Amino acid sequence: MPATGWDTEQISANLPAQAMNPLLARCQRAQAHLADILGGQFQYKVVSGQRGDFGDLEGFEFNSERCGGFLHLWSNGNCEYHLVDYIRSFEVIPITLRPLVTAADVDEVLEMLGQTAVQLVAS
């Protein structure tokens, strides 16, 4: 199945939920930003949960034939991310848990994940 990137209709459909759930809104902005970096080379799957180890979870997985990973945003302010090279069976970025203090912290994680994934796909 070809990768389609981020579904902007899904963002529009979730606008009322965004107003009620700032974590969901932040996750959707993060996914849209990463989709801009990665282009249409990846498929995305939304992940959501309540009352986990770090509170409520909003996140997404991203996958291509070459590599994939995830970004989880937790209600306690932590971010968890991971990137795997499927061809070499190698963790490029091991599972990492990091506190997010500012919006720039999210952007920094997204840029690092996105640029590393783009380099893997191009190699």
The predicted-structure confidence for 24-41, as pLDDT tens digits, reads as follows: 888 888 888 888 888 777
Q: Is the pLDDT of residue 15 over 60?
A: no
Query: CB–CB of 84/42 below 8 Å?
Result: no
Question: Mean pLDDT over residues 80-107, rounded?
Answer: 91
pLDDT at position 18: 42
Would 40 be classed as within a structural domain? yes
CA distances from 85 to 25, 66, 101 (A): 29, 6, 29
Helices 22-38, 103-122: crossing angle, 10 deg rounding:
30
* pTM for the model: 0.76
Q: What tokens appear for 47 in the block?
A: 């992940």
Helix (H) or strand (E) holding 13, with range, is helix 8-13
Report the distance separating Cα 57 and Cα 13, nearest Å: 19
Domain tally, the chain? 1
Domain assignment of residue 89, yes or no: yes
Whether the pLDDT of residue 68 is over 50: the answer is yes
Indicate whether 74 belongs to any domain: yes
Q: Choose between 6 and 88: higher pLDDT.
A: 88
Residue 32 CB neighbours (<10 A): 16
97 within domain boundaries: yes
- The answer to whether residue 12 sits within a structural domain is yes
Residue 7 DSSP one-character state: -
Does residue 116 lie within any of the structural domains? no
Tracing tokens 């969901």 back to the chain, one arrives at: 24
Range of the domain at 86: 8-21+29-104
Contact 96, 81 (CB under 8 A): yes
In a domain, 84, yes or no: yes
Q: Is residue 37 part of a domain?
A: yes
